[in-house]
Amino acid sequence: MTLLFCISIALLAGLMMTRLANHFHLPAVTAYLIAGILIGPYCLGQLGVEGLGFVSHESVTMLSALSEVALGFIAFAIGNEFRISQLRKIGSQATIIAVVQALTATVLVDLALFALHLMLGDKLPLTAVLMLGAVATATAPAATMMVVNEYKAKGPLVDLLLPIVALDDAVGLVVFAISFGVARAISAGQFHIAAIILEPMIEIVLSLALGTVMGFLFHYSERFFHSNSKRTSLSVAFVILTVALSMLEFDVGGIHVGLSSLLVCMMMGTVFCNICNFSEELMDRVDNWTTPVMALFFVLSGAELELNVFLDAAIVGIGFVYILFRSLGKYVGAFFSSRITGCSSAIQKYLGITLLPQAGVALGMSLKALQFPGAGDLVRNVTLFSVLIYELVGPLATKIALLAAGEIDESGRKSSRVPNKNN
């Protein structure tokens, strides 16, 4: 009964907070995170009433399975962005920009945090440095597209955003898989080639292979069902099954073999969307079903935030350094790569600003980092802190960038807002 109360309170708190957030033009992700903080162990949970809020972090982790499933759907949705027909239209321009700006952010964050590691020692473990550098790659499309839709923005800059964000997250998942494997090798004290290079590569290859197999099995299985409701149920079942299979771990000849649920689910989505002729319609239905699951994921992420960590000036400093150098990496990487690929001066100047927001994929990566005691908690809290900052600042920065690029018609904005005033 307590578990059901926690789930219902988390959902209701998140939904109610979105109503308040609407008045400040903030994205729903921000509202869910704030709601999670308010019903978490450091706010409402302090009352000690089981079910009314999360009285401890243990009560939050009871719902960790929901978070794993939500991550699977996030990765599955990313994979569905990689349709061959759309990739042909994108060309090399968006691909180069996505890869360069993501890797630039990783390199700058790694270098900056490594310098801090030399000064702070165990307060900032090397494993946390590696994982935060990988988390820096991820970009969230939700806040950016909210601004695009609200202000009816149109133009070359807007046309580049979605494909770049999708490719960006794919690059991020691969970089995180490698960084995670290296961090695991360092943590275990195994510095041989098999631990540092071979294990991450095996994880990536096996994850992509399993995702491919599951994608074909998914497509084969849906042929036995013809109603939309049953196909939607099959989709949900396959994502959950894939997440479960990707949790398998074993050792072969002294080499630890694990899988990345994010990569597996992404690959399943990619294979399925390219061989199923009604995958777009099916994805729309799956998105509707998973909406409350995603809301719960973000609320739980907020509830997991260790607020007492931010009483430590050194930890707050790490968070701000991460935000500063990730932002610099995104902007510099987007600027130079867009210049190299022949984009307009407006895209060169403002594209990087629209790539700042972080949310789902970054939070998913930080959730995986919790497998490292101490370092994982630091990665999780720095990521949550940065997500709150980026989701508060990101939409406004995106609006300013699109205005400066001349892709927002302010008169269009006014007419679109009138009907919503009575909501």
* Arithmetic mean of pLDDT over the chain: 80
Whose CA is closest to 375, among 135, 99, 83? 135
**Residues paired with 257 in a beta bridge:** 250
Does 108 score more than 90 pLDDT? yes
Write the burial class of residue 162 (CB in 10 Å: 0-12 exposed, 13-18 middle, 19+ buried): middle
CA distances from 166 to 86, 137, 234 (A): 12, 12, 25
For the ranges 223-227, 283-287, 401-405, the lowest mean pLDDT is seen at: 283-287
For the ranges 117-121, 243-247, 281-285, 295-299, the lowest mean pLDDT is seen at: 281-285
Q: Contact 355/338 with Cβ under 8 angstroms?
A: no
pLDDT band at 420 (very low <50, low <70, confident <90, very high): very low
Write the burial class of residue 78 (CB in 10 Å: 0-12 exposed, 13-18 middle, 19+ buried): buried
Q: What pairing do the DSSP bridges indicate for beta strands 255-257 and 250-252? A: antiparallel
Please state whether the predicted TM-score (pTM) of the whole model is above 0.85. no
The predicted pLDDT at position 415 comes to 41
| Per-residue exposure over 284-313, b if at least 16 CB sit within 10 Å of its own CB, e if not | ebbeeebebbbbbbbbbbbbbbbeebeeee
Sign of CA dihedral 27, 29, 32, 36: negative
* pLDDT single digits (tens) 23-65: 876 767 778 888 888 888 888 878 777 767 787 777 777 777 8
Check residues 399 and 213 and name the one with the higher pLDDT.
Answer: 213
* pLDDT single digits (tens) 175-203: 887 888 788 777 766 555 555 566 667 77
Type of residue at 391: E
3-state secondary structure the chain: CHHHHHHHHHHHHHHHHHHHHHCCCCCHHHHHHHHHHHCCCCCHHHHCCECCECCCHHHHHCCHHHHHHHHHHHHHHHHCCCCHHHHHHHHHHHHHHHHHHHHHHHHHHHHHHHHHHHHHHHHCCHHHHHHHHHHCCCCCHHHHHHHHHHCCCCCHHHHHHHHHHHHHHHHHHHHHHHHHHHHHHHHHCCCCHHHHHHHHHHHHHHHHHHHHHHHHHHHHHHCCCCCHHHHHHHHHHHHHHHHHHCCCCEEECCEEECCCHHHHHHHHHHHHHHHCCCHHHHHHHHHHHHHHHHHHHHHHHHHCCCHHHHHCHHHHHHHHHHHHHHHHHHHHHHHHHHHHCCCCHHHHHHHHHHCCCCCHHHHHHHHHHCCCCCHHHHHHHHHHHHHHHHHHHHHHHHHHHHHHCCCCCHHHHHHHHHHHHHC
* % residues pLDDT > 90 (the chain): 12
* pLDDT single digits (tens) 261-314: 778 888 898 888 888 877 777 777 777 777 788 888 888 878 877 777 677 777
Does 418 score more than 70 pLDDT? no
Q: Cα-Cα-Cα-Cα dihedral of 13, 18, 23, 27, to 10°? A: 140
- 415: its two tokens: 């007419």
